[in-house]
Amino acid sequence: MVHFGFTYVEILIVLFLSLIFTFVSLLLIRTVLRGSFLVINKTQKIMDKMFLIDYVGTEYMKECSKFLEITDDSLHFLSKSGKRVTYVVKNVGDTWKVVRKSDGEGNNVLYEGKEPVSFSLVEHLWRLNVGKHSFEFPINPFSRSLSSYSHPQDHRGRPEHSPLRF
């Protein structure tokens, strides 16, 4: 029998080092993949909020004058009379439904959104379809600026970042 001259201690050290290398490699791979998924999740979350703005905008924004903020399940606007209006929304499959509207005075109105929401990628634009309405905006989900929205009827020489239109 051939003897290679390795002791049990040396073999154990090599096995231990290879185990550490494997563990570190798996952690690195997991970190890279998790970072990719975080980017995807962040993109989806921002896109979802964009859809909410346009959805509420097409149906329920007639009395509101200024967009204030988005929270996880709500859109907040300033009404033309100067009161804070909140729309609480819910995602059902690929459809957003407005569940409740609060007018800032403690009055709640229940809604049942009926128009389906869908979106598609058209060249360098996302197209959001809400019932009969259609909205387009550039593919830059990390832009938190609402000024990147545009209405498809504004194609006549519009700048790259048109103002938000309802």
pLDDT, mean of residues 113-137 = 53
Measured between alpha carbons, how far is 45 from 159 in angstroms, rounded to an integer?
Answer: 26
Taking the model in full, what pTM does it have? Answer: 0.33
d(CA 118, CA 41): 18
Q: What is the pLDDT of residues 65-122, one digit of tens each?
A: 565 666 666 667 677 777 777 767 666 655 556 666 676 666 666 555 544 445 455 5
Rounded to whole angstroms, how far apart are CA atoms 10 and 16? 10
Nearest by Cα to 71 from 56, 54, 83, 89: 89
Give tens-digit pLDDT for 19-62.
Answer: 999 998 888 887 777 666 665 566 566 555 555 555 555 544 55
Give the pLDDT score at 152: 38
Amino acid identity of residue 55, one-letter, is Y
